[in-house]
Structure 1
Amino acid sequence: MPTITQGDLFTATLEVLDHPPLGVPALDAGSREAVVRLAGAKSLVRILDGGEGHDLDLALPGGYRNREGKLRLTAHRLTKDVFAIEAGERRIALLRLRDRAVGLPDFDPEGNHHPALRPTRPLRLRRGRTLGRASLWETLRLGVEVALPIIAQGAVLRRPLGVRLAALTRADQRANRLLARLRDRHDGGPLLVRIPLRGWAVIPLSEADVRRTLHGAEFTPANKEKQGALGHFQLDALLVTRDPELRAQRRAFNEEVLRPDMIADAVRAKVADEVATLPTRGVITWPEFHATQRRIARRVVLGDAARDDEQLTRLLDRLRGDANWSYFAARRTDVRVAFQRRLEAHLRRAEQGSLARVLAQTRADPAVHPEGQAPHWLFAYDAAGVAAWRALALLSAREEPRDADRLRAAMRESLRRWPTTPAILRDTTAPTTWRGVTVPAGSMVAVVTSFMDEVPFSDGPARCPGEGLVMLTATHVLDEILREREVRMVGRPPLLDHFRLRFAVRPRER
Structure 2
Amino acid sequence: MTVLDDPTESREPATARPLENALFGVALAAQRIPWIDAPARALGLTPFTRESLTRQLLTQLKRSRSGRPVRLHTPFGAYLAPLDADDATDLIAHAHEAGALGRADRLTLEGRRHPVAPHAAVSVPPSLLRDVHAVAAQEAAHLVAARHADATVAREDWCAVVQRLARRVVLGDAAAEDTLLSDLLAVANTAEDANEYADRAAALRRRVSSYLREGDGAGGLGGLGGLGGLASAATDTARDTGSSPAPTLGSPTAQQAAAAVEHTLDLLTQATTHTALQALALLTVQPAMPASQRAETAVNEALRRYPPRSATSYQVTTPFRWHDVSIEAGTDILCATSWLHDLAAAEGEARPGTPAPSLCATPGQCEAAELAASTARALVVALTDLIQPVVREPRLDPDDLPRTLDPAKLTVALTGADASSDVPAAEPRPTAAQGRAPAHYAALTRESALSLEQHAQRLVDLAHDSGWNHDAVGERSRMLLLAHAERCRRAAADVQNAARWLAN
Alpha-carbon distance between aligned partners in 1 of 2:183 and 2:252, rounded to the nearest angstrom: 31
Native 8 Å contact 2:115 2:197 kept in 1? no
Structure with higher RCO (Cα < 8 A, 6+ apart): 2
Q: Does the alignment pair 1:320 with 2:189? A: yes
- The equivalent position to 1:209 in structure 2, one of 72, 87, 91, is 87
* Matching residue's letter, 1:276: A
Alpha-carbon distance between aligned partners in 1 of 2:30 and 2:374, rounded to the nearest angstrom: 34
Native 8 Å contact 2:22 2:74 kept in 1? no
Q: Does the alignment pair 1:394 with 2:262? A: no
Native 8 Å contact 1:166 1:172 kept in 2? no
Give the structure 2 partner of residue 52 of structure 1.
none
* Matching residue's letter, 1:279: V
Give the structure 1 partner of residue 152 of structure 2.
283
Give the structure 1 partner of residue 466 of structure 2.
none
Structure with the largest fraction of strand: 1
* Matching residue's letter, 1:411: V
- The equivalent position to 1:479 in structure 2, one of 378, 381, 389, is 381
Task: Report the RMSD for the aligned CA atoms in angstroms.
Answer: 3.9
Give the structure 1 partner of residue 211 of structure 2.
346
Native 8 Å contact 1:397 1:488 kept in 2? no
Q: Does the alignment pair 1:377 with 2:264? A: yes
Instruction: Name the CA shift for 1:441/1:337 in 2 (closer, same or farther; >3 Å).
Output: closer
- The equivalent position to 2:135 in structure 1, one of 265, 270, 273, is 270
* Matching residue's letter, 2:66: D
Structure 1 residues 163-203: Cα deviation after superposition (integer angstroms, max 9, x where no partner): x66997975554333222221233323111247997x6311
Query: 1:314: Cα distance to partner?
Result: 2.0
Q: Point out where structure 2 has 5 or more consecutive residues left out of the alignment.
A: 41-48, 108-112, 235-249, 342-354, 396-401, 421-504
* Matching residue's letter, 2:64: R
Native 8 Å contact 2:82 2:335 kept in 1? yes
Instruction: Name the CA shift for 1:317/1:210 in 2 (closer, same or farther; >3 Å).
Output: closer
- The equivalent position to 2:169 in structure 1, one of 287, 300, 304, is 300
Alpha-carbon distance between aligned partners in 2 of 1:430 and 1:43, rounded to the nearest angstrom: 20
Query: 1:488: Cα distance to partner?
Result: 1.3
Native 8 Å contact 2:205 2:258 kept in 1? no
Structure 1 residues 171-250: aligned runs within 5 Å: 174-194=53-73, 201-206=79-84, 209-216=87-94, 217-218=97-98, 220-223=100-103, 225=105, 229-230=114-115, 237-238=118-119, 250=120
Q: Point out where structure 1 has 5 or more consecutive residues left out of the alignment.
A: 1-39, 45-107, 111-121, 124-129, 153-161, 239-249
TM (norm. structure 1) is 0.59
Instruction: Name the CA shift for 1:360/1:139 in 2 (closer, same or farther; >3 Å).
Output: same
Instruction: Name the CA shift for 1:420/1:299 in 2 (closer, same or farther; >3 Å).
Output: same
Aligned length: 353
Which has the larger Rg? 1
- The equivalent position to 2:232 in structure 1, one of 341, 357, 360, is 360
SS of equivalent residue, structure 1 residue 296: helix
Native 8 Å contact 1:433 1:439 kept in 2? yes
Native 8 Å contact 1:489 1:503 kept in 2? yes
Native 8 Å contact 1:192 1:202 kept in 2? yes
Alpha-carbon distance between aligned partners in 2 of 1:223 and 1:266, rounded to the nearest angstrom: 34
Structure with the largest fraction of helix: 2
SS of equivalent residue, structure 1 residue 507: coil
Identical counterparts, % of pairs: 23
Give the structure 1 partner of residue 441 of structure 2.
none
Give the structure 2 partner of residue 133 of structure 1.
15
Instruction: Name the CA shift for 1:489/1:313 in 2 (closer, same or farther; >3 Å).
Output: same
Native 8 Å contact 1:219 1:428 kept in 2? no
* Matching residue's letter, 1:182: L
Native 8 Å contact 1:190 1:434 kept in 2? no
SS of equivalent residue, structure 1 residue 489: strand
Query: 1:360: Cα distance to partner?
Result: 2.0
Alpha-carbon distance between aligned partners in 2 of 1:477 and 1:166, rounded to the nearest angstrom: 35
TM (norm. structure 2) is 0.60
Alpha-carbon distance between aligned partners in 2 of 1:223 and 1:337, rounded to the nearest angstrom: 17
Native 8 Å contact 1:219 1:426 kept in 2? no
Query: 1:293: Cα distance to partner?
Result: 0.9
